[in-house]
Structure 1
């Protein structure tokens, strides 16, 4: 019992220290950067608003969501707080400005987060199609993976192509250097990450796992995650010279040995520092590597930060 108490005391001290580190950095360095004051007039159609004819895929800072389809996962007030990473539906996220979706499935095509389950993948597909029908020049990156510990849904690649075929941008390295306008009327880059099934190949309607990578670490300590994100981002080639998407996740994760296990208060430790992260990318000379930035419980400010930096890039200010 004594060692358990001592361990918890040390954890609380470490957490308190890490919170202070980010708070102090925010106060001393600020979170201003080129484009930080830009607010898109229409978040639902912000790509069109920036000019699809001059917006290159590899210049976009893509606002993404982590565990995107968990708004109704589990049982409300019982198991949901332990697995819910977004409060908005897929459709509402897209309307808000989200352009990268992270969806986890199990063998029966239902969305899951660990052992908890929610609605089927059809709900996600319907929401995406609804959004695309209401916009004209928005590109969406849809990452679908089989959740760890689960089996691939049978023939899932065929299902995705059947459901999304008319919108799919086929796997092609040349896509990264093209503008949004050049890719239209196709609107979805769908990255399928099975655990055991064959992976998509060059020219296929779906994209393979190597086209969206990250360096996710399992921690509930915000400064540790912030520093890890910065380190791994700085090790990437500039976005203009690589043919894959690199994601930074502005999230931290509840740990089983910590008294606080609900997602929202834990991830809230880092949630408000997305603008600080961007400003520090400028300070450390690696902002040209930033491409996909994802978060839990996405909000307008997060979207505006990503769109603002994108606007600065196409204006030649970043």
Structure 2
């Protein structure tokens, strides 16, 4: 019992230290970077507002959500706080400005996060189609993966093509160098990551797992995650030569051996430092590598931080 208590005391000290590190860095360095003061007039149509003829796919800083379809997961007030990473529906995330979705599914096509489940994937498709029908120039990266420990839904690749075929941008390395206007009217880059089923190939309507990469570390310590994100981002090729999307997740996750295991209070330790992260990318010389930035509980400021840097790139200021 004593060793457990001692361990918890040390963990609380480590957490307090790490929170202070980010707070002090924020105070000393600030959050200024090229485009930081830009605000889109319409977040629902922010790509269209940046001129699709000038906006290259590989220069976009894509605002993404982590565990996107968990707004209604589990049982309210009982299991939901342990798995909910977003409070908005998929449609409302897209309207807010989200452009990368992270969906985990199980064999029956229901969305899940670990052992907890929510609505069927059909709800995700309905929300995406509604958003696409209301906009003209917004491109979405849709990542769908079979959750760890689960089996692939039968023929799910065929299902995705049947449901989204008219919108799908086919797997092609040349897409990265194209502008948004050059890929229209296609609007969705769908990355399918099965556990055991066949993976998509070049020219297929769906994209294979290697086209959306990240370096996830499972920690609830904010400075540890922040530093890891910078380190791994710095190891990537610049966006000008990269033939895949690289994602940085501005999140930390609850740990089972910590008294606080609800998602929101844990992820709030890093949530407010997205702009600091972008400014540190400039300070560390890796701003030309930043591409997909994801978060829990996405908000307006997070979207505007990403769109602002995208605008600066178009204007040749970053």
TM-score w.r.t. the length of structure 1 is 1.00
Pairing 1:107–2:111 present? no
Pairing 1:22–2:36 present? no
Report the equivalent of 1:302. 302
In 2, Cα distance between equivalents of 1:149 and 1:19: 33
Deviations 1:28-69 (A, max 9, x none): 000010100000000000000000000000000000000000
For the residue of structure 1 that corresponds to 2:144, the secondary structure is: strand
Deviations 1:190-226 (A, max 9, x none): 0000000000000000000000000000000000000
Aligned positions of 1:7-18 closer than 5 A: 7-18=7-18
Pairing 1:272–2:272 present? yes
Report the equivalent of 1:58. 58
Deviations 1:72-127 (A, max 9, x none): 00000000000000000000000000000000000000000000000000000000
Count the aligned residue pairs.
318
Deviations 1:145-181 (A, max 9, x none): 0000000000000000000000000000000000000
For the residue of structure 2 that corresponds to 1:175, the secondary structure is: helix
Pairing 1:165–2:165 present? yes
For the residue of structure 1 that corresponds to 2:41, the secondary structure is: coil
Aligned positions of 1:168-317 closer than 5 A: 168-317=168-317
Deviation (angstroms), 1:266: 0.1
Deviation (angstroms), 1:240: 1.1
Moved beyond 6 Å, runs of 4+: none
Deviation (angstroms), 1:185: 0.3
In 1, Cα distance between equivalents of 2:93 and 2:241: 29
For the residue of structure 1 that corresponds to 2:72, the secondary structure is: coil
Gap regions ≥5 residues in structure 1: none
TM-score w.r.t. the length of structure 2 is 1.00
In 1, Cα distance between equivalents of 2:263 and 2:229: 19
CA RMSD after TM alignment: 0.2
